[in-house]
């Protein structure tokens, strides 16, 4: 059994769990895009970038109001410890403009409290020793970011569609920087992984009950469901054992080529039994007119499913 990416201590939400041979697919599933609903509080920042950490930077309410005015928010004043915004349209328009600036490929510096390794050592272990290190930014993609609501006008509720490896804690920090303030992630729910949504998932208690009733197989998604997106290449039965042992795929092993495959494309290898044997990565284009008797290698083993 294995899973496809841990959640931060603060976070809840969907997690894909692989059983048996499906664990071999975890390296694919972990790269699926993600969707999150997050709450970000403005005005302070913690060492972990979420509300579980120690506050290291803070603005007074007057300072926060003053800085928010610099993003064209009108008539902000303090009342009963809540920031009151009279011109909501201007406020939301400015916030949306800042959020939209993150859409696309961005350079993101991961949090120091993370499982990313630096010279073989997890960053969070380095952070606990108060050691100073330089964390290099990494490329991530924000496909869509939406402002859902503002709570007490200093807490932003947003929905984010992003690539695997994106840290929402770091995104919260960077949103704060663009708003000329500090920001901390206070709530996070992962609502989607790839095409799998939280409303289609099961809670642990439900899984335990199904297991007790010996009905767990009713909700298990077969491996074939995950493989639907890949092109299938049928090989001659004679070469089945070679492919099972991870031999490179050459053109003369293929029974037919019904489509065009591009270089670095993932393909499924199967035989007359229609049972998938392996996932291969192409090393060059495969065209419909390619000489089928050639011993030219066109793909190499990636994930063995047999």
Give the active site residues: 8
CA dist 212 → 2, 17, 207, 222, 269 (Å): 21, 19, 9, 21, 37
Residue 70, token pair as written in the block: 């610099």
How many helices (H) and strands (E) the chain has is answered by: 8, 20
Contact 50, 168 (CB under 8 A): no
In angstroms, the CA 29 to CA 195 distance is 11
Over its C-alpha atoms, the chain yields an Rg (Å, rounded) of 25
Q: Does the CA dihedral 168-169-174-179 come out positive or negative?
A: positive
Residue 273 burial (C-beta neighbours within 10 Å; 0-12, 13-18, 19+): exposed
Pairing of strands 76-79, 249-250: unpaired
> Taking the chain, what is the end-to-end CA distance rounded to the nearest angstrom?
17
**How far is CA 265 from its chain centroid?**
21
232/117 Cα distance (integer angstroms): 36
Q: How far is the CA of 166 from the CAs of 74, 103, 107, 114, in angstroms?
A: 33, 12, 10, 12
Tokens 């065209």 found at: 287
Is residue 91 exposed (0-12), middle (13-18) or buried (19+ Cβ within 10 Å)?
buried
């Amino acid at each position: 059994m294995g899973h496809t990416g841990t959640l931060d201590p603060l976070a809840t939400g969907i997690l894909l769990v692989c059983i048996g041979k499906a664990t071999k697919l975890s390296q694919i599933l972990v790269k699926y895009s993600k969707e999150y609903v997050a709450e970000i509080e403005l005005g302070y920042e913690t060492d972990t970038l979420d509300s579980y950490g120690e506050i290291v930077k803070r603005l007074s309410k007057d300072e926060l109001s003053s800085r928010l005015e610099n993003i064209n928010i009108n008539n902000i004043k303090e009342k009963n410890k809540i920031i009151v915004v009279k011109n909501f349209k201007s406020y939301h328009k400015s916030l949306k403009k800042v959020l939209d600036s993150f859409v696309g490929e961005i350079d993101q510096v991961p949090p120091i409290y993370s499982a990313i390794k630096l010279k073989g050592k997890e960053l969070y272990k380095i952070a606990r020793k108060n050691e100073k290190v330089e964390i290099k930014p990494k490329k991530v993609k924000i496909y869509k970011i939406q402002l859902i609501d503002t709570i007490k006008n200093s807490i932003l509720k947003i929905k984010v569609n992003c690539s695997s490896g994106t840290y929402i804690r770091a995104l919260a920090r960077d949103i704060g920087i663009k708003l000329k303030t500090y920001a901390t992630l206070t709530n996070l729910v992962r609502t989607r992984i790839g095409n799998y949504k939280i409303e289609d998932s099961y809670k642990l208690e439900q899984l335990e009950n199904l297991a007790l009733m010996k009905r767990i197989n009713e909700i298990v998604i077969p491996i074939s469901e995950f493989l639907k997106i890949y092109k299938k290449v049928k090989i001659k039965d004679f070469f089945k054992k070679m492919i099972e042992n991870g031999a490179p795929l050459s053109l003369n092993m293929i029974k037919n080529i019904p489509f065009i495959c591009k270089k670095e494309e993932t393909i499924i290898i199967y035989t007359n039994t229609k049972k998938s044997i392996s996932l291969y990565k192409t090393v060059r284009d495969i065209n419909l007119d390619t000489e089928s008797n050639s011993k030219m290698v066109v793909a190499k083993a990636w994930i063995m499913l047999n």
